[in-house]
């Protein structure tokens, strides 16, 4: 007894008879043409991803291909990218000095060395970098959660005053609301992080400060790694008209690309937002006030962290709004 085939479906043997060819000839042709078709499909996907993510290397391209259902390994992707001249862009770094550790403020011990966070808001790392504008320099301060690699606070201004760093920290605190006494804040020994305004803000929220050893950037490697990614994937190759233009473009990269889309090797090739969502299926929240901190005018009460009484003070009730879903 034979099983009936669905309507319109024929066996290989039947199709060969109707076409007047042998089954052996059909399989020889299939063995020669199918791999070429598969290779063409893989090359097309690699080229599409390389153009969409011009700074992705072969490892991240491989991870993205796996997400799209391609069964390829990194060695094959590297070979195809080399053959098609699709290696990602790189540029020699120019690093001006943004850290001045020659000051009389108190320098605290390094509490983050050897610390492995096991959850969100246990260890924040902070750093400052320069951004070249058309006619001047701007400076970007960031605060990053060391567990999820998510940028939780940032600020961009045309000066290196303490208000630059405090604006980024204020945004992070408003967004995350860390529990008192549960968080370590790590930075370099720069005057922006050692000054009275910054340490007072940490103390007001019961955040323990930590600072790197002298001349050792590896103590703050996670923040340095983000700065390298930012320069390679957003800043290099762009020309910013002024600080407002840089703030708009870099803010879009941080919030939409780095936090929500970019695959991170330390997170098993998930984005920080995906990683945090897997920890909290209900979804994270962010206060309405934190959304406006990054674009608040320098010197305003909001940018200085002097929020209206009763609306966004520690311990007060704050209306929570869900973070926009990442594309």
The residue behind tokens 């153009």 is 51
Query: Whole-angstrom Cα distance, residue 105 to residue 102?
Result: 9
- Count CB atoms within 10 A of the CB of residue 208: 16
Q: Is residue 139 within 8 Å of 245, Cβ to Cβ? A: no
| Complete domains list, the chain, with CATH | 20-83 (no CATH), 123-322 (3.30.420.10)
Q: Which of 58, 50, 101, 56 is nearest to 76 (CA)?
A: 58
Q: Please, what are the averages of pLDDT over each run of 10 residues along the chain (327 residues)?
A: 55 86 81 72 87 83 90 90 72 50 64 86 93 87 95 93 93 94 90 90 93 74 91 87 93 94 91 90 42 45 39 38 44
Nearest 10 degrees: Cα torsion 171, 174, 177, 183: 30
**pLDDT per residue over 305-319, tens digit each?**
433 333 344 333 333
Query: Whole-angstrom Cα distance, residue 63 to residue 321?
Result: 32
- Phi, psi values for residue 19, rounded to 5°: -90, -15
Query: Whole-angstrom Cα distance, residue 254 to residue 153?
Result: 10
In degrees, rounded to 5, the angle at the alpha carbon of residue 118 between the alpha carbons of residues 116 and 119 is: 130
Query: Whole-angstrom Cα distance, residue 305 to residue 312?
Result: 10
Which residues are CB-neighbours of 79 under 8 A, at least 6 positions away? none
**pLDDT per residue over 73-129, tens digit each?**
999 999 888 887 776 655 554 555 445 455 455 777 788 788 889 999 999 999 999
Query: Whole-angstrom Cα distance, residue 111 to residue 210?
Result: 5
- Phi, psi values for residue 223, rounded to 5°: -70, -40
């Amino acid at each position: 007894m034979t099983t009936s085939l669905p309507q319109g479906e024929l066996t290989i043997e039947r199709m060969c008879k109707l076409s007047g060819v042998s089954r052996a000839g059909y399989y020889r042709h299939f063995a020669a043409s199918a791999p070429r078709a598969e290779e063409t499909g893989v090359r097309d996907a690699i080229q599409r991803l390389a153009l969409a993510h011009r700074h992705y290397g072969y490892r991240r391209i491989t991870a993205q291909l796996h997400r799209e259902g391609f069964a390829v390994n990194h060695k094959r992707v590297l070979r195809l990218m080399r053959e098609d001249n699709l290696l990602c862009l790189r540029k020699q770094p120019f690093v001006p000095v943004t850290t001045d550790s020659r000051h009389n403020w108190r320098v605290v011990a390094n509490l983050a060395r050897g610390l492995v966070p096991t959850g969100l808001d246990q260890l924040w790392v902070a750093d400052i970098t320069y951004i070249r504008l058309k006619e001047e320099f701007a400076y970007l301060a960031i605060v990053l959660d060391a567990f999820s690699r998510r940028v939780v606070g940032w600020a961009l201004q045309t000066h290196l005053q303490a208000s630059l760093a405090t604006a980024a920290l204020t945004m992070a605190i408003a967004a995350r609301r860390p529990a008192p006494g549960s968080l370590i804040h790590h930075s370099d020994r720069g005057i922006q992080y050692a000054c009275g305004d910054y340490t007072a803000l940490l103390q007001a929220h019961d955040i323990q400060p930590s600072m790197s050893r002298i001349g050792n950037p590896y103590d703050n490697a996670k923040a340095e790694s983000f700065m390298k990614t930012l320069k390679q994937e957003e800043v290099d190759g762009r020309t910013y008209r002024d600080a407002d233009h840089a703030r708009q473009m870099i803010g879009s990269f941080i919030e939409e690309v780095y936090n929500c889309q970019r695959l991170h090797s330390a997170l098993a090739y998930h984005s920080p937002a995906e990683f945090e969502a897997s920890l909290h299926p209900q979804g994270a929240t962010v206060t309405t006030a934190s959304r406006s901190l990054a674009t608040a005018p320098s010197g305003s009460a909001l940018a200085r962290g002097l929020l209206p009484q009763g609306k966004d003070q520690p311990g007060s009730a704050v209306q929570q709004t869900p973070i926009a879903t990442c594309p």
